[in-house]
Amino acid sequence: MPSFDIASEVDIQTLDNAINTVKKEISTRFDFRGSPVKVELDKKTYTVSLEVESDMKMKQLLDVLISRTLKQGIDAGAFDFSKDAYPSGKVVRKEVPVRNGLKQEDAKKIVKMIKDNGFKVQAAIMDDIVRVTGKKLDDLQEVIAKCRAENLGIPLQFVNMKG
């Protein structure tokens, strides 16, 4: 029976490369010259730590982060920018968690969307992925197209397609 998995994963090496590119660009930019800037990736917790001297520079740093990670193929939706930057001494800090894996509520949203549309497939939540199985590949491709068309607010990958 044909199947595929819906996942929301970020490759840690690609993310690390993107962070290194951000550091390189910041070090060459005139508007950041002479100011303390820290960009670090915690690979265990999937968190990007940012530290600059003002809110304005934080916004610029976030713009650079988004543009560089997009060029590396990482969706901007993978970053959780909901936490505000906070002042810490003379600098402004921000912790940006990177979403890795589907949360239960997101997985349930996807399964509900698939069932509500009446596709002839079965969707099952397995840890941090949703496995979709059906009798025809065409049905699975319709589900993929629908998932891409819906704006679920999370980056999705469609992996392990088995015909």
DSSP-assigned letter for residue 41? E
Give residue-wise pLDDT tens across range 45-96: 999 999 999 999 999 999 999 999 999 988 888 898 888 888 888 889 999 9
Residue 163 scores a pLDDT above 80 = no
| pTM, two decimal places | 0.79
Please, what is the Cα angle at 107 between 157 and 70, to 5 degrees?
35
- What are the Cα distances from residue 120, in Å, to 5, 110, 115? 16, 15, 9
Domains of the chain: which residue ranges? 3-8+101-162, 12-97
Question: And the tokens for 3?
Answer: 């199947």
Whether domain 12-97 has CATH 3.30.70.990: the reply is yes
Whether domain 3-8+101-162 has CATH 3.90.1150.10: the reply is no
Burial class (CB in 10 A: 0-12, 13-18, 19+), 40: exposed
CATH topology identical between 3-8+101-162 and 12-97:
yes
* Across 121-147, average pLDDT: 92
Distance CA 80, CA 36 (A): 24
Question: Which pLDDT band, with edges at 50, 70 and 90, does 110 fall under?
Answer: very high
